[in-house]
Amino acid sequence: MYVDLDTIKLLWPELVLVLLATWIYIGGTIQQGRWWWGLFALAAYGVSGHAVAVGIVEANTVSGPLTPDSLGYVVRFTAIVLGALFTLVLTASARKELASETIATLMLLICGVMLVGRANDLVFLFVSLELVSIPTYVLLYLGRRDRATSEATVKYFFLSVLSSAVLLYGLTMLYGVAGTTTLVGPGSIQSELQSLSVDAGGLGSLTPVALVLIIAGLGFKMAAVPFHFYAPDVYQGATNANAGLLAVVPKVAGVIALIRVAVIAMPNVAEFAWHVTLVLALVTMTIGNVCALWQQNLRRLMAYSSIAHAGYMLIGVAVAMAMEASGGISGTLFYLLVYAFGSLGMFAALASLGSDEQEVSRLEQLSGLARSRPFVAGAIAVCMFSLAGIPPLAGFWGKFTLFTGAVRVATDSGGQATSVWFAVLAVGGAINAAIAAVYYLRVVAVMYFQPSREANFGTNVGARVVMLFAAVLVVALGIFPRSIFNATEHAESSALREKVAAQTIQRLEAIATSQQVP
């Protein structure tokens, strides 16, 4: 892994966030305040976003542990937008004496997600994922000081450490098989594994084991079954703002890391990988949706919803593993964006209703909300309809893209077994979407068709702004989905271009070697 000045230049957006987060940590010891440091953080995200936009015109070649492809730019822009929106939510709800620490820790978390999107090296990827995990522990603890929050933080901490150990073991095994830590490029893991067979014995037979360990480690961040069991308890013990953070940010990092490692860099286990991922997708979305049917606690309901959506995202990953350039990666990215803003809007709405004395956590607390808080109820309804996949909102196009991708593999693949598997996956996804509509619509029914209850709702202005922004964005993406589709499709082609280039170089080297005269 060679790092030069060009590599450092490519990290300017992340360096800006790290430096300004450090300044907020130091400045918070001198001057406490919520909105002062919140506005400073928003300016930092603006500077970082400008640095990303300027970097797009730079050379689109691999530099050391970084790959400046379009997939990385999509992830970076998404992370910056999410960081700015979560800053608005957390600024108003954070305790005044800990506001600077909360805002700066969130900036480091967003920086970790941005680095995951650029990673082209196993070591760099693992360190970036830890930069996502460690700030998450801190934010959970800073959210609220009571027994439930402490218990949720401890559970997440120990299970996250275990998942990191499992992931590191899988990455180490992958390095042992390939002999390099570089994911894509000449002499990379992708090119080394291309010539190894998983059935011929030797080192190649260890690749499926490495894949299982990597999926297990990243499955925790995605809340995929069977690594989901922490989610309901941790979401329930966290604040609404932190629960929203857990539902969105680690999932983005986990999905992108899975695409980088399992889809792009491990071609010799594609047949085994899509089988495993397909089964996980079916089981994850089924368990998540069925368990959500009985939930009365809103955060537990959204936790199981998050589990179910991890299953939907795995549909796209399985499609990408089974058929290259099938739209699986672009469909997964589009659905990830749609899910992120839909969940963010829901949790921001709950945070806007809460106060320092009481948070909105039970479903019955939303009774008759449409009469007392019509804009909040409307935003929640829009987010619920989108997460349920009801047209013409963005969630419909996300599910439609994933399901049609599975159908495409079922109809275009050469093997009968593959066709059957993906046909079952598409049908299973459609059935699960119908099951999910039950509990999403129940939330809407409580707000609009049950009598009002006297409640002392809060006035979190920042959370309300984020709620309205997310709701408008979900509607806009549903009406004009092509703008995001173009970006995600370009991101997929750009990410696969490096893989194809590495395969071409390897073939040319093999031809040149075979033509050498001894």
Sign of CA dihedral 177, 10, 13, 494: negative
- What is the C-alpha separation between 74 and 78, in angstroms, rounded? 6
**Which whole number is the average pLDDT over 6-28?**
85
- What is the C-alpha separation between 303 and 280, in angstroms, rounded? 17
Q: pLDDT by residue (tens digit) across 199-216?
A: 656 666 788 888 999 999
Query: Domain count of the chain?
Result: 1
Helix (H, G, I), strand (E, B) or coil at 69: coil
Q: pLDDT by residue (tens digit) across 414-469?
A: 667 778 888 999 999 999 999 999 999 999 999 988 887 766 676 778 889 999 99
**Which whole number is the average pLDDT over 362-370?**
86
Provide the pLDDT for residue 250. 92
φ/ψ of 246, rounded to 5, equals -65, -35
Q: Which residues pair with 63 in a beta bridge?
A: 66
Provide the pLDDT for residue 207. 84
- What is the C-alpha separation between 512 and 518, in angstroms, rounded? 12
- What is the C-alpha separation between 418 and 381, in angstroms, rounded? 38
- Answer for the pair 92, 75: CB distance below 8 angstroms, yes or no: no
pLDDT at residue 65 above 90?
no
Provide the pLDDT for residue 496. 78
Q: pLDDT by residue (tens digit) across 400-414?
A: 999 998 888 888 766
Pick from 59-63, 344-348, 476-480: least confident: 59-63
Q: pLDDT by residue (tens digit) across 116-133?
A: 988 888 999 999 999 999
pLDDT at residue 472 above 90?
yes
Kindly compute the dihedral angle of the four CA atoms of residues 400, 403, 405, 408, in this order, to the nearest 10 degrees. Answer: -110
DSSP line for 315-330: HHHHHHHHSTTSSHHH
**Which whole number is the average pLDDT over 35-62?**
77
- What is the C-alpha separation between 202 and 215, in angstroms, rounded? 22
Average per-residue pLDDT for the chain: 84
- Percentage of the chain lying above the pLDDT 90 cut: 38
pTM of the model: 0.90
pLDDT-based confidence at 518, cuts 50/70/90?
very low
- What is the C-alpha separation between 2 and 330, in angstroms, rounded? 30
**Which whole number is the average pLDDT over 79-98?**
85
pLDDT at residue 516 above 60?
no
Provide the pLDDT for residue 202. 64
Helix (H, G, I), strand (E, B) or coil at 59: coil
- Percentage of the chain lying above the pLDDT 70 cut: 88
pLDDT-based confidence at 8, cuts 50/70/90?
confident
Question: 196 lies in which domain range?
Answer: 5-514
pLDDT at residue 16 above 50?
yes
**Which whole number is the average pLDDT over 61-74?**
76
Provide the pLDDT for residue 4. 62
pLDDT-based confidence at 512, cuts 50/70/90?
low
pLDDT-based confidence at 517, cuts 50/70/90?
very low
**Which whole number is the average pLDDT over 228-250?**
89
Provide the pLDDT for residue 326. 67
All residues at 6 or more sequence positions from 374 whose CB lies less than 8 Å from its CB, including other chains? none
Alpha-carbon distances, residue 136 vs 108, 154, 398, 442 (angstroms)? 10, 12, 27, 31
pLDDT-based confidence at 249, cuts 50/70/90?
very high
Cβ neighbour number for residue 202 with a 10 Å cutoff: 10
- What is the C-alpha separation between 73 and 85, in angstroms, rounded? 18
Cα angle 396, 398, 399; round to 5: 70
Provide the pLDDT for residue 18. 92
Burial 124-145 (b: 16+ CB within 10 A, else e): bbbebbebbbbbbbbbbbbbbe
Provide the pLDDT for residue 184. 82
Provide the pLDDT for residue 513. 53
Q: pLDDT by residue (tens digit) across 142-156?
A: 877 777 778 888 888
Provide the pLDDT for residue 381. 93
Provide the pLDDT for residue 59. 46
pLDDT at residue 186 above 60?
yes
**Which whole number is the average pLDDT over 64-73?**
80
pLDDT at residue 490 above 50?
yes
- Answer for the pair 334, 401: CB distance below 8 angstroms, yes or no: yes
Peptide bond connecting 226 to the previous residue in cis, omega within 30 degrees of 0 = yes
Provide the pLDDT for residue 502. 52
